[in-house]
Amino acid sequence: MPVTLKDIAQKVGFSITTVSRALAGYDDVAESTRQLILQTAAEMGYHPNATARRLRQRRTDTIGIIVPTSSTRFGDPFFGEFLAGVGDKAVEHEFDILVSTRPPEAGELRAYERMVLEQRVDGMIVISTRPQDERIAYLLEQNFPFVAFGRSDLEADFPYLDVDGERGMFQATEYLIGLGHRRIAYISAPFTFMYSYQRVEGYRNALAAHGIPFDESLMLAGDLSERNGYALARSLLTREAPPTAIIACNDWMASGVIAAARDLGLTVGRDLSVVGFDDVPLAQIIHPRLTTVHQPAYEAGWRVCDMLVKLLREEALTERHVLLQPELVVRESCGPPPSRG
Amino acid sequence: MPVTLKDIAQKVGFSITTVSRALAGYDDVAESTRQLILQTAAEMGYHPNATARRLRQRRTDTIGIIVPTSSTRFGDPFFGEFLAGVGDKAVEHEFDILVSTRPPEAGELRAYERMVLEQRVDGMIVISTRPQDERIAYLLEQNFPFVAFGRSDLEADFPYLDVDGERGMFQATEYLIGLGHRRIAYISAPFTFMYSYQRVEGYRNALAAHGIPFDESLMLAGDLSERNGYALARSLLTREAPPTAIIACNDWMASGVIAAARDLGLTVGRDLSVVGFDDVPLAQIIHPRLTTVHQPAYEAGWRVCDMLVKLLREEALTERHVLLQPELVVRESCGPPPSRG
DNA sequence: GTGAAAGCGCTAACAG
DNA sequence: CTGTTAGCGCTTTCAC
């Protein structure tokens, strides 16, 4: 049986109230009393019961996050990094992190309801945002505190942090254009994710900025898997007029592209240029090492957590909308387009 | 303000007790009363307050897990998979998962104390077990329910699930021996982890079983990183009598070995055989595709969670010690040793 | 300085 | 069948 305030009170001969106040550090307790209580509490091994405290304070000091396990996005190292960032910041603020996976059947809103309606957490982190994100709409409607990692196209305003995917893809595309490429294919992420739209925008804007007409046939929608990257690359590279460069929306698909090129006898970096997105550890390991757009996953995680904690503490949230700048990491998977002939 | 039992009681004109019982499905409530209460509760949007319930039931229905973010092991897809398994099983049992990262300074025992002493969780999952694991010793001493993923060499008995690393490495080694290899190097994981000992045992046993003397110079301790795998492989391969095969304790180091071999002009699968461990997605992506020992991470996760839930529910824990069998996945990174000359 | 009392929202023993 | 009472462990008025 854990030691309670009552136990201490009994032992020292003061009331529960006084014990509570002494332990909480109030200054209206006699110094001698305080000393006695502090020492006794330590001796008895007292630790406050978190649940009782929560009930009383009407606050859980807990942040909820729901991870879609079935999606391609889990098991993705990007996620682990993000979560590590969230967790480290939470520890710092003495917040707990409640992680739930999306229940397979009922749809993920049930998981949100559980956290929100049953008051298991004080605030939520929403990840992998979607165009008309029903989770965000729900939290907004419930007037429940949250910070999203990623934007949405709901009219309503809400606090978010995002990585500027448009800018990232703009840079990647411009880099290839600068190398001399004109036929640049683009393998998108599924358009269920908000970031897909932003990234493709960056690609199109870069083409436009350099007077290269957008060629619809060079744009394919992928599913983020290596397999799919392989298949799509193969279809692109066996065309009559294949692209000289391929941009993939994540590193996994990019690695599939590289494998496809290799199987077709092409040398990546010479016969074909490939760019990825994310900069997961894999990018440095495959051969040739992948030029890709680095997403600061860990930083994104702790920042989102920090924003939410500030929001919950009603400190001034200096920025409701944060856009982190990704960075193009040039490695060895690109080069000038092969000369004709 | 969320709806409480009191609100419903007021509205329907029954006592809080009756409302509680009707909602809980007790059969000592008049059918008409029950109907009224159920309907009213639904209309008012009642959802029980989890914290109040926990305080009263003296049970949190929450499982804690502490992840060392700094260690090489996070960001590792193996972990994501494991966590997904834990999470999915927890959802099924209606348990919550409290995830904490290890606080950087104080040592991780603080994180355990927070969960245990402040009664935030009913049970814990311990991962990445160590030889004399102080976390396990602590939980044992506190008599706190937990299940470990991995064994330890404490004398005390405790419930665990582990993947049979010895068997896995035995198979891997035997496979290489079968191909004709005799000079098989072994790059270990750090000996802070319990599994390192078990795996190396498998390697040594396989050598012994086939009458190959153990050569200490062929055994190196690695740090699990790709970089380190590269460096160690380089040192092995530039010796006078280099090994014809290298086993690495995880896929990351194995990929480093492959990179080193490539840089030395060796063709992996022909001039050098390489085997990894884990079978993370990377293993299928690198070139040549990596022969490795598959660890069932997702299964391990849900099984551990299931064991713990059973333990907490005091159902008969059919097995306190589970050993999952890993499987050697043969791909393209091995072949017979090159003929002398 | 200290204590009594109230109450967070819920469940359960017991009485009627 | 239903209500009263008690209490989980804690914090916070409000008296004295």
CATH number of the domain that residue B35 is part of: 1.10.260.40
Q: What percent of chain A has pLDDT over 90?
A: 88
Region of residue A199 (left: phi > 0; alpha: psi -120 to 50; beta: else): alpha
Indicate if the alpha-carbon torsion angle B106, B107, B113, B116 is positive or negative: positive
In a 3-state reduction of DSSP, which class is residue A105? coil
Angle at which helix B109-117 crosses helix B134-142, to 10 degrees, equals 20
Tally DSSP H helices, then E strands, for chain B: 13, 12
Nucleotides in chain D near protein beta carbons (<7 Å):
1-5, 7-13
The answer to whether the C-beta of B55 is closer than 7 A to strand C is: yes
A169 shares a domain with A154: no
The two three-digit tokens of residue A310, written as one number: 């500030």
Chain-chain contact of A55 with B51 (C-beta, under 8 angstroms): yes
Q: Which tens digits make up the pLDDT trace of B143-157?
A: 999 999 999 999 999
Give the lowest-confidence range in A76-80, A327-331, B209-213. A76-80
User: Is residue A233 a part of any domain in this protein?
Assistant: yes
Report the pLDDT value the prediction gives residue B39, as an integer from 0 to 100. Answer: 95
Q: Is A316 a residue whose pLDDT tops 80?
A: no
Q: Is A192 a residue whose pLDDT tops 80?
A: yes
B154 shares a domain with B198: no
Rounded to the nearest 5 degrees, what angle is found at the Cα of B19, between the Cα atoms of B17 and B23? 120
Number of domains in chain A: 3
Point out the nucleotide closest to A30 (alpha carbon to C1′). Answer: C1
DSSP state of B217: G
- Is the bond into B336 cis (omega within 30 degrees of 0)? no
**What letter represents residue A174's amino acid?**
E
CB A126 within 8 A of CB A146: yes
B231 shares a domain with B136: no
Q: What is the CATH number of the domain that holds B81?
A: 3.40.50.2300
User: Is residue A57 a part of any domain in this protein?
Assistant: no
**pLDDT by 10s per residue, chain B, length 341:** 899 999 999 999 999 999 999 999 898 889 999 999 999 999 999 999 999 999 999 999 999 999 887 654 456 778 888 999 999 999 999 999 999 987 655 678 999 999 999 999 999 999 999 999 999 999 999 999 999 999 999 999 999 999 999 999 999 999 999 999 999 999 999 999 999 999 999 999 999 999 999 999 999 999 999 999 999 999 999 999 999 999 999 999 999 999 999 999 999 999 999 999 999 989 999 999 999 999 999 999 999 999 999 999 977 667 899 999 999 999 999 999 998 64
| DSSP state letters, A22-43 | HHHT-SSS-HHHHHHHHHHHHH
Confidence at A251, pLDDT banded by 50, 70, 90: very high
User: Is residue A178 a part of any domain in this protein?
Assistant: yes
B221 shares a domain with B322: no
**What letter represents residue A83's amino acid?**
L
Rg (CA), chain B: 26
- Nearest-Cα distance to chain A for B167, in Å, is 26
User: Is residue B338 a part of any domain in this protein?
Assistant: no
Indicate if the alpha-carbon torsion angle A105, A109, A111, A114 is positive or negative: negative
Q: How far apart are CA B43 and CA B155, in angstroms?
A: 57
A141 shares a domain with A93: yes
CB A84 within 8 A of CB A43: no
Report the pLDDT value the prediction gives residue B105, as an integer from 0 to 100. Answer: 59
User: What does the pLDDT average to over A272-276?
Assistant: 98
Among the listed residues B265, B48, B290, the one whose alpha carbon sits nearest the alpha carbon of residue A114:
B48
Which of A97, A99, A255, A305 would you mutate first to test chain B, the one with the most B CBs within 10 A? A99
How far is it between the farthest Cα atoms of chain B? Answer: 96
Q: How far apart are CA B276 and CA A176, in angstroms?
A: 35
**What letter represents residue B156's amino acid?**
A
User: Is residue A340 a part of any domain in this protein?
Assistant: no
Q: List residues with CB under 7 Å of strand D.
A: A 2, 4-6, 16-17, 20-21, 23-24, 48-49, 52-53, 55-57; B 13-18, 21, 28-31, 33, 55-56, 58
Candidate from B74, B255, B256 with C-beta closest to A80: B74
Chain-chain contact of A87 with B75 (C-beta, under 8 angstroms): no
Give the lowest-confidence range in A37-51, A54-68, A215-229, A310-324. A310-324
A219 shares a domain with A189: yes
For chain A, give the mean pLDDT: 94
User: Is residue B336 a part of any domain in this protein?
Assistant: no
Report the pLDDT value the prediction gives residue A78, as an integer from 0 to 100. Answer: 81
Q: Is A213 a residue whose pLDDT tops 60?
A: yes
CB A50 within 8 A of CB B119: yes
* A14 CA vs C2 C1’ separation (Å): 8
Q: How far apart are CA B28 and CA B21, in angstroms?
A: 8
B75 shares a domain with B151: yes
Q: How far apart are CA A170 and CA A207, in angstroms?
A: 8
Prediction pTM value: 0.94
Candidate from B101, B118, B262 with C-beta closest to A48: B118
A320 shares a domain with A261: no
Q: Is A120 a residue whose pLDDT tops 80?
A: yes
User: Is residue B133 a part of any domain in this protein?
Assistant: yes
The two three-digit tokens of residue A152, written as one number: 């949405």
Q: Where are the alpha helices (DSSP H) in chain A?
A: 5-12, 16-24, 31-44, 50-57, 77-93, 109-117, 134-142, 165-178, 194-209, 226-237, 251-263, 282-285, 297-312
Rounded to the nearest 5 degrees, what angle is found at the Cα of B205, between the Cα atoms of B200 and B209? 155
B274 shares a domain with B128: no
B206 shares a domain with B312: no
A301 shares a domain with A290: no
Which residues of chain A have a CB within 8 Å of the CB of B256?
Answer: 285
The answer to whether the C-beta of B49 is closer than 7 A to strand C is: yes
Rounded to the nearest 5 degrees, what angle is found at the Cα of A13, between the Cα atoms of A9 and A19? 35
Q: The domain containing residue A253 runs over which residues?
A: 165-294
User: Is residue A333 a part of any domain in this protein?
Assistant: no
Candidate from B50, B83, B281 with C-beta closest to A120: B50
Q: Where are the alpha helices (DSSP H) in chain B?
A: 5-12, 16-24, 31-44, 50-57, 77-93, 109-117, 134-142, 165-179, 194-209, 226-237, 251-263, 282-285, 297-312
DSSP state of B258: H
B315 shares a domain with B230: no
